[in-house]
Structure 1
Amino acid sequence: MSHSYADGLPPRESALSAVSWAAVFAGAVIAAALSLALLAGGTGLGFLSVSPWGDEGMSAPAVGIGIIGWMLFTQIVAYGIGGYVAGRLRTKWVDVHSDEVYFRDTAHGFLVWALSAVVSAALLGSAIASVASGAARAGAAMAGTAGTVATAAAAAGASGGGLDQVTDYFTDTLMRSERPDASGDPDTARGEVGRIVAMSLTRGEMTPEDRDYVIKVVAAQTGLEPAVAQRRVEQAIANAKKAAEDAKVKAKQAADAARKAAAAFALWGFASMLIGAFVASLAATWGGRRRDTVHRV
Structure 2
Amino acid sequence: MNYTNDPAEFSLAEKDSALFTHRLEGAVSWGAIFAGGVSAAAFALILLTLGTGLGLTSISPWSSGASNAKAFGFAAVIWICVTSILTSGLGGYLAGRLRRRWLAVDVDEIHFRDTAHGFLSWAVATLFTAAILSSAVSGGVRTAAQSAATSAADSGSGMLVTMQRSNAMTALNTWPLGYFVDSLFRVPGGSQPAATPAATGNNEPSRQEAARIFLNSAATGDQLSADDTAYLGQLVAQRTGLTPEAAQTRVAATYTTYMQKITALDAAAKDAADKARKVTIGASLWLFISLLMGAFSATLMATHGGRARQL
Give the TM-score band, short-chain normalised: 0.5 to 0.7
Deviations 1:107-126 (A, max 9, x none): 11001011122223444555
Note if 1:226 corresponds to 2:238.
no
**CA positional deviation for 1:230:** 2.1
Question: How many pairs align?
Answer: 244
Corresponding residue for 1:40? 49
Change (3 A) 1:25 1:223: closer
Would you say the 8 A contact 2:56–2:76 is kept in 1?
Answer: no
Q: 1:202 aligns with which of 209, 212, 215?
A: 215
**CA positional deviation for 1:209:** 5.4
Corresponding residue for 1:182? 194
User: Equivalents in 2 of 1:42, 1:213: separation in Å?
Assistant: 63
Corresponding residue for 2:229? 211
Secondary structure, aligned partner of 1:32: helix
**CA positional deviation for 1:243:** 0.6
User: Equivalents in 1 of 2:40, 2:57: separation in Å?
Assistant: 26
User: Equivalents in 1 of 2:163, 2:267: separation in Å?
Assistant: 24
* TM-score between the two structures when normalised by the length of structure 2: 0.63
Tell me which stretches of 4 or more aligned residues in structure 1 moved more than 6 Å. 128-131, 150-153, 184-188
Identity %: 39
Note if 1:289 corresponds to 2:307.
yes
Note if 1:91 corresponds to 2:100.
yes
**CA positional deviation for 1:63:** 4.7
**CA positional deviation for 1:253:** 1.8
Q: Which runs of 5+ in 1 are unaligned?
A: 1-5, 50-59, 132-149, 170-179
Q: Which runs of 5+ in 2 are unaligned?
A: 1-7, 59-68, 141-161, 182-191
Q: 2:127 aligns with which of 118, 135, 141?
A: 118
Change (3 A) 1:130 1:228: closer
Corresponding residue for 1:72? 81
* TM-score between the two structures when normalised by the length of structure 1: 0.66
Note if 1:264 corresponds to 2:276.
no
Amino acid at match of 1:246: A
Corresponding residue for 2:26? 17
Amino acid at match of 2:122: W
RMSD: 4.1
Amino acid at match of 2:194: A
